[in-house]
């Protein structure tokens, strides 16, 4: 077999070896967000990924709530010295609700001299759209540093408006009151469960069964609902094992990542910037580290990306189980993996018959026959990948660019 530099056809597209191989081809990526899902999925698919969508939450505006109107009137009547603005969608929803009351311009005027603390760049963008500018920007995406900053100032008798991020934030608002401030909570939206939980349940099953290569989270409430639903479905431990092992996780912001770490002991990747392009790039880079392999065979190399196997004679897509078995063999090449170990690591089910493994390996061998990738049977023991796994000769990621548009609100 010659090195994979010749053109290879796969599903109507032409591949030219590693340098032209879409970096996510062969991978299934799970998306748990509810807004701009189609845009995120489209960018992942452009890089070759298959995508499964399962929103874990939805946003419900509460413009009709009398409390929001009352809060808005209080802010207009007594412009606050400070505004804690926590989310871009919250700022926009508040302004839109005020417009429905005929009070948007008066609200913006009331906030012009307010010292606005913005929790991250998405809030800054929403404020800028209204002609407002932050006094302080907290880049970490956390609320506590803003509370600490206000604590260092004299708040006695000061009016502080607090735009809530879909939850009540009672600890933060009570802390401000304890500092002597008069606090007006502003709740313009709330997080709720999706009306249809079927997609979320399908996504959870795909994670638990390790059919996905990566899962993305764009908010803390999405992680919380993900965990709650996994427990309700009785697959919490399977999900934990998947996220601590073969399934990569990408979280927008440290707050979201902390929630996933606390729930499952996962080690999520957190993009430096909370924008869509950075999320996509983080998925690519994560799967390049753990899901892209070059295997030396007589006469050349074979490239494996999860379900995709590319050789000089063509390319194939394996099944999920076949990919699981091949991935386990790739993890320890030239070492015999006992049948029991393969069964427990791939199927994670004590009731699976050993014949299932034999059938899967036989089918995998037939698929790999032309590639020259040798999966050997060690009689009485197990299976062995009789080849060397070598470093990728070039950074394929550099050949693929992703858009740097902002993610979320």
Q: With 70 as the cut, is the pLDDT of residue 3 above it?
A: no
Domain 8-57+194-291 identical in fold to domain 293-390:
no
- Give the position of tokens 């500018």: 133
Domain covering 293-390 in this structure, CATH number: 1.10.10.10
Angstrom distance (rounded) from CA 67 to CA 72: 9
Q: With 70 as the cut, is the pLDDT of residue 338 above it?
A: yes
Pairing of strands 300-305, 293-297: antiparallel
| pTM more than 0.85 | no
Which residues are CB-contacts of 175 (< 8 A; sequence separation ≥ 6)?
A: 147, 151
Residue-level pLDDT at 373: 85
Query: What is the CATH T-level fold of the domain 62-189, as seen in this structure?
Result: Rossmann fold (3.40.50)
Q: What is the pLDDT of residues 96-122, one digit of tens each?
A: 999 998 999 999 999 999 999 999 888
Q: With 70 as the cut, is the pLDDT of residue 399 above it?
A: no
Domain ranges in the chain are 8-57+194-291, 62-189, 293-390
Cα–chain center distance at 247: 11
Name the token pair of 225. Answer: 């609902």
Q: With 50 as the cut, is the pLDDT of residue 290 above it?
A: yes
Angstrom distance (rounded) from CA 335 to CA 378: 10
Give, as one character, the DSSP assignment of residue 269. Answer: B
Tally the residues of the chain. 409
Give, as one character, the DSSP assignment of residue 325. Answer: H
Q: What is the pLDDT of residues 69-98, one digit of tens each?
A: 999 999 999 999 999 999 999 999 999 999
Cα–chain center distance at 93: 24
Which residues are CB-contacts of 55 (< 8 A; sequence separation ≥ 6)?
A: 32, 33, 34, 37, 194, 199, 200, 222
**Which position has the higher pLDDT, 372 or 28?**
28
Q: What is the pLDDT of residues 121-168, one digit of tens each?
A: 889 999 999 999 999 999 888 899 999 999 999 999 999 999 999 888
Residue-level pLDDT at 64: 63
Counts for the chain of helices (H) and strands (E), in that order: 15, 21
Angstrom distance (rounded) from CA 98 to CA 61: 12
Angstrom distance (rounded) from CA 120 to CA 112: 19
- Integer-rounded Cα radius of gyration of the chain: 26
Strands (E), 62-164: 82-85, 115-118, 136-137, 159-163
Name the token pair of 31. Answer: 């998306």
Q: What is the pLDDT of residues 159-170, one digit of tens each?
A: 999 999 988 899
Query: What is the CATH T-level fold of the domain 8-57+194-291, as seen in this structure?
Result: Rossmann fold (3.40.50)
Angstrom distance (rounded) from CA 334 to CA 378: 11
Q: What is the pLDDT of residues 223-242, one digit of tens each?
A: 999 999 999 999 999 999 99
């Amino acid at each position: 077999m010659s090195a994979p530099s010749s053109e290879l056809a796969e599903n109507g597209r032409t591949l030219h070896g590693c340098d032209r191989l879409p970096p996510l081809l062969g991978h299934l990526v799970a998306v748990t967000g509810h807004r701009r899902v189609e845009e995120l999925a489209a960018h992942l698919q452009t890089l070759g990924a298959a995508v499964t969508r399962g929103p874990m939450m939805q946003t419900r505006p509460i413009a009709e709530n009398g409390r929001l109107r009352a809060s808005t009137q209080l802010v207009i009547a007594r412009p606050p010295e400070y505004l804690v603005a926590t989310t871009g969608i919250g700022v926009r929803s508040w302004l839109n609700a005020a417009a429905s009351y005929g009070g948007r311009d008066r609200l913006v005027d009331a906030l012009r001299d307010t010292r606005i603390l913005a929790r991250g760049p998405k809030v800054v963008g929403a404020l800028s759209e209204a002609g407002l500018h932050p006094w302080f920007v907290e880049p970490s995406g956390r609320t506590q540093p803003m509370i600490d900053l206000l604590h260092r100032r004299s708040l006695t008798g000061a009016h502080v408006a607090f735009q809530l991020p879909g939850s009540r934030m009672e600890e933060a608002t009570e802390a401000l009151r304890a500092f002597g401030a008069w606090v007006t909570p502003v709740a313009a939206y709330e997080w709720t469960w999706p009306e249809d939980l079927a997609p979320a349940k399908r996504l959870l099953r795909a994670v638990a069964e390790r059919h996905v290569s990566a899962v993305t989270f764009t908010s803390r409430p999405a992680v919380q609902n993900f965990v709650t639903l996994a427990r309700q479905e009785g697959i919490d431990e399977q999900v934990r094992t998947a996220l601590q092992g073969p399934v990569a996780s990408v979280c927008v912001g440290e707050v979201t990542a902390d929630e996933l770490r606390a729930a499952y002991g996962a080690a999520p990747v957190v993009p430096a910037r909370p924008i869509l392009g950075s999320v996509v790039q983080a998925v690519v880079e994560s799967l390049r580290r753990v899901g892209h392999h070059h295997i030396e065979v007589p006469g050349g190399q074979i490239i494996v990306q999860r379900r995709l196997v590319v050789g000089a004679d063509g390319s194939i897509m394996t099944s999920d189980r076949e990919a699981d078995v091949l991935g386990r063999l790739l993890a320890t090449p030239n070492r015999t993996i006992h049948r029991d170990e393969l069964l427990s690591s791939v199927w994670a089910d004590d009731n699976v018959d050993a014949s299932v493994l034999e059938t899967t390996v036989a089918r995998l061998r037939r698929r790999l026959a032309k590639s020259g990738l040798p999966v050997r049977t060690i009689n009485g023991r197990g299976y062995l990948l009789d080849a060397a796994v070598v470093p990728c000769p070039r950074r394929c990621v550099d050949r693929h660019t992703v858009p740097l548009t902002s993610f979320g609100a």
